[in-house]
Each structure stands twice: as C-alpha cells, then as structure tokens.
Chain A
Amino acid sequence: MNILKNEMRQGLKGLLLWGLIIGGTIVLCVALFPDLKKEFGDMVDAMADMGGFGAAFGMNQLNYGEITGFYGIYAGSMLGIGGIFFAAVLGTGILAKEEKEHTAEFLLTHPVTRTSAFFQKLTAMLVQILLMNGIVILLSLLSFRIIGETPEWKGVWLFHLAQLLMQTEIACICMGISAFLRKGSVSIGIGVAALLYFLGLFGNITEEAEKVKYITPYAYADAADILPDAALDGTLILIGMGYAFLGLTIGYVKYQRKDMY
C-alpha cells in the first residue's frame, strides 16, 4: 500500500486545486442565480433563439429559470469540462510520469511486482477522482444553502454520479495510454479529453452525429439528458465502463512487458 500512499501524497495538492477551482466557479455561478431569475423571462426566449449553440450546452432541454436547470447548465459545463481534463491529465500521467521523471528505475528495483504497482496506482487514481468530486459536491451543496434554493435532488445526484463515471472512464482509458508513453504525457491527456468533449457537443448539435454517443462518455453524463427525467442511460454507461475496462486491460498487459529505463 506504500505506492498508493505515495501517489496520494503526490496528488493531494492537485486534486484540491482542481476541486476548489471547479467547485468555486460553480459557487460563483449559482450565486448569480437569484438576480438572473428576476430577468429570466426575457432570457429563456433569448436562449431558445440561439439554436445549435444553445443545444450544444443543453439549453433547449433545461429550464433556465429553475435552479435545477440552471445548475445543470452551469455546473454541467464547469464540472463536465474541468472533470474530464482533470481525469485525463491524472490518467495519462499516472504511469508515464515515473519514466518522464526517471523514477521508474527507482520504484521498480524495489521488491514490488508491476501488478501491485499498477493496481496501487489505479486505486490512487480512482480515490483522487472521488475526492475531487467530493469537494465539488460539497461546494455545490453549500451554494444551494447560500441562495436558499432547493433543486430536485434525485436529478442532481444522478448527474454527479454520471460525471464521476465519465471521469473514471476517461481516467482508465488514459491510464491505458499512459502505459505506452515515455514522456510528455499531459498534452496527450488534454488532447484525448478535448476530443471526447467536442465529440459530445457535436452529438448534441446534430441528429446525424447521434452515433458518437456510443464513443464519448459525454453522452451519458450530459446534464441536459439526465435532469429532465432524473434518469441515467444504463446502456451507454455500460458501454463506457466497457471502454474503461478495455483501456485498463491493454495498459496492464503493456506495463507488464515494458522496458523501463
């Protein structure tokens, strides 16, 4: 368990920072809600006219004038974007950073199997994602308190669960990629995250691109799809977890056989 502990110590600052920035931005947005609500009559119409752009962010499906819908749009984009970048950067770095910083030799000449190192790192990654989301959720709850509004809880919790699953999927896929990298992992992580994110937006804009929902986890984690009926798409989630598992398996096999230097 010493590698797990070590990873946590190393990642703590990062996850606090990500959690506070994403959560803090959500707090700021939610704090604006009471003022915006007074003017929302005009705004909803304005948003409805935005067509494709509005649709990309789910504005056509969510009621902007209610706290749940408002939260879905703002928290949805903040946590949606921030979360996948956090997960991608974390995942692509988790194995490759040891080679980039030349610590792989130090680590793996100690009595530990690569299997154990891999799974301790995986655990550390998942715990960090959980903690980061914990911070965001705490700050969100706090912000509801501050403005004295009560959202529809079921939808909000399902939304956060879906976000957690999406980040887990991306982190696992990126960890798989990480096993193939030797250096410069961050840019690849950001690339993967951006690709999946824009695929998700693309899928929202046009019906013809509907098939992308089988590729990007953004499809099952989008607040606009979850909040109206307070329901998750189990099939898409299952497919997503399948990708995560596949990524991890390929990464594990590669990591077992890889030359370390």
Chain B
Amino acid sequence: MPNLKKTSSGIKGLDELTGGGLPSGRPTLICGGPGCGKTLLATTFLVKGALNDNEPGVFISFDERIVDLGANVSSLGFDLPELEKRGLIAMDHVFLDRQSIEEAGDYDLEGLFVRIAHAVKKVDARRVVLDSIDSLFAGIPNIAIVRSELTRLFGWFKERGLTVIITAERGDNGMTRNGVEEYVSDCVIVLDHRVIEQSSTRRLRVVKYRGSTHGTNEYPFLIDHDGITVLPVTSLGLAQIASTERVSSGVASLDAMLEGKGYFKGSSILLGGGAGTGKTSISAHFAEAACRRGERCAFFSFEESPSQLSRNMGSIGIDLQTWADKGLLRFHAARPSLQGLEPHLALILKEIQDFRPDVAVVDPLSALMSIGSLHQTQGMLLRLIDHLKSVGVTALFTSLQNHDADSGIAISSIMDSWIMVENRRAGNDLVRRLHVIKSRGMAHSAEMRRMLITKSGVQLIGIPADETGREGA
C-alpha cells in the first residue's frame, strides 16, 4: 500500500503523533466540547499552511463573525485580516437564523457550495475549514437535506483534492452531536478540556486515521501565546542510545561515590529524602556545576520561588543568580495545584523544547504526584523521563520520601540512579546521611556517608566509627 500523503497540521506535536500530519486531500473531523480549542486548532492549520507551506486556505465560519474570529486568534499572533489582504486566506461567515427562514418546497444547499467555491477560487486554496458544522444542522430545518448535502460536499472536497478540517461539538451519544463522524471517515481527532479538582487539563486524541498508524493515547496540549502545543511524548520503547559520557553531580565527594565521575549523561536521577535533608541543596550544586561548564540548566521549582531559592542557596555558597542573569539557568516556579498534572508536564516539555537545556532539575517531583492519580502520575513520569533521555538531558528529580521504600508508585524503578538522604539521630544531634541505593551501569559506592551542609556547600564524609552503634530508631 502506498504511503498516504500527509499535510502538516501546523502543529508540530500533532504532526509527530500522526506521522506527518492530516491526510492530504481529505477531510479531518475535530470534535470536542465548547471551549476545548477546536477553532484555534483549525485556524492554526490554515494560518501555518498559508505561511509555511504555501497552501492558501478558506475559513468558513458558521459560528463566529469574521471580526470576532480575528480578534480571538490575534492573541496567538495570527493576523487574519492581514492574511486576507495578502490573498493567503479567504473568510466567509455563514450566518443561519432559523427564525427568519420559512421553508416552502424542495431545496438544496447549492448556495453553500457556491460560497465555498467562490472563496476557494479567490485565493486558490488548498485547505478549507468549516467551523462548526453543527450550526448547519441547527440552521437548516430539514435534517435529511443537510445530511445528503454534506455527503455531496465531502465528495466535492475530495474531487478537488482539498485538505479539510471540519469541527463539531461532542455529543452525549456517539462522538458528535449530529453524527458527523459518519461522513468523515478518514481522520477523527477528539479534543477534551477537563477540570479535575479545580485543575484544568486539555487533551487531544487521534481516534481514527484511516490508512495510517498514529499514537492512540490522550496527549496533553497547551494553548498559550505561541498557539497550540501538543506533546506527543510517547514511551520510546527503550530504544534510546545510552551515553558513556559522565556529568558531575556538582558535589566532588558525591562524584567520588559514583566512580569519581558522576552521573551518566542523559540519565535520570532520583534524589529521595525526608523534609530538610538537603535535597534542594544537592540539586542546586548540580545546576550550578552545569552552568559553570557553560551548559544550560532548566530548574523547575514547585515549592520555592526563584528569589527564595537564590537566597537560600547563596547562604551555602551556591550562586544561582549569576547564572540566571547570564541566561544559562532558567527557573520555572509554579504551585503544583495551579493546574493539572499534564499541563505541568506539558510546560516542562515545552521549556525543554524551547530552552534546550543540558541538565534539568525537578524539585520536588513528589509535589506533582500529589495532584494526579497514581496511574496518571506514573504514565506521565515515564513519558517525561523517556523524552528527557531521547534529547540527552540529564535530569535530577527530588522526591519527598522518608524511607528507602518506594513511595507507592514505582518511580525508582524507572530511574537510572537513586540516591537517598535521611536525617538520623546521633546522640543529641540530628545528622544527615546519604547513600546511593542504585546507579545503573557503574560500580557505585555502597557506603553510607554523612552529609554536611556548610557555608561552602554540601560535603560528604565518612561516618565516624563511634557513631554507627548509636543510631536512633
């Protein structure tokens, strides 16, 4: 079977998960509830097609007036009136007011065909958007006519080789309210906007793609000033190339426990421990060391603000601010509860895409776990870690956990290295201890070390012999 020809959707992540984009010369159905981003997706498809692929487009709006549409997408940096002026996009608002229409005999929807044909001819269009088709069902009294004319319309599109997006409202029974999926059998994409525990998450799923393989998962997507970003982070099936390069942990005495060389480049490291065990300090060392090497570091902080972090780390001799000023270190601070798990993931991935860091710190990972279900969290983590590996980012995740035991979700098993820090009582003092539980691919030290946090940072030293017998329970 010859490969199906595909047309870029204008959205990188969507093109990735469909193996190249939407089916060329065929209609694609985008369905979803109100406010889930259907119109924005469709507009992106047209605008990017016109600007990047030399494929002018036609926007037939059944809902919004053209001026409103233009205003709504201008926040994404799309200038529809300008594109219209340049002859790259033609727009027509088809307004249907059922109240003012009287039916008196047999009719068809040739007027719609005439209008679409006229617009297509005007810009020599290769792409068409119909947004949304439900208004057609609502505006024309005779549903049987609408149905037969839709069939004819899709045939008309195919004859002309137009790549089309039709949007439709999600229905309670079936995929769409008016069963539009019956007419569009080539490609169906469902958008979803859910609010779970006050956190909103947008998701996209390719339900059907005739003649093509596609990712079948639900993928999170974002709508921000850059437009739509879909994050097709799939499990790569463990096909990543393992690097033999090493990356310093930023703490010489910790490197010493890791064959004197530190972590593997592109590996993922879990740093677990109770409250106040110095996880963030170790992370800051890691970040600073990367910047010192001239590498870039993305620091995702879910508990402390950047200024708080800089101040606190400054007190132990780690100067983060300098590197932030130089642009090598970028902070991303957000409250975990601000949004759902997947938007967080999406933001992390987007930052990694945009900033292209060499190393990343997520502090703490456990903050994110608190907002999703177990299953969700694990799936998300797998995807995140796989993605980081595939782009060669060495990532350090801290996690609030009190015991060596895993925190319920098997995150340690998907990490390459696992380091634990704990507070123990030694006599009247509370001392910190660190040990490397595992570090794949290297002969790491199995010893437990005492961890000191000094004015010049974290230091690991051997445990005094007299201390071993006096451990508190």
Q: Do A and B actually bind?
A: no
Chain B interface (Cβ < 8 Å from any Cβ of A): none
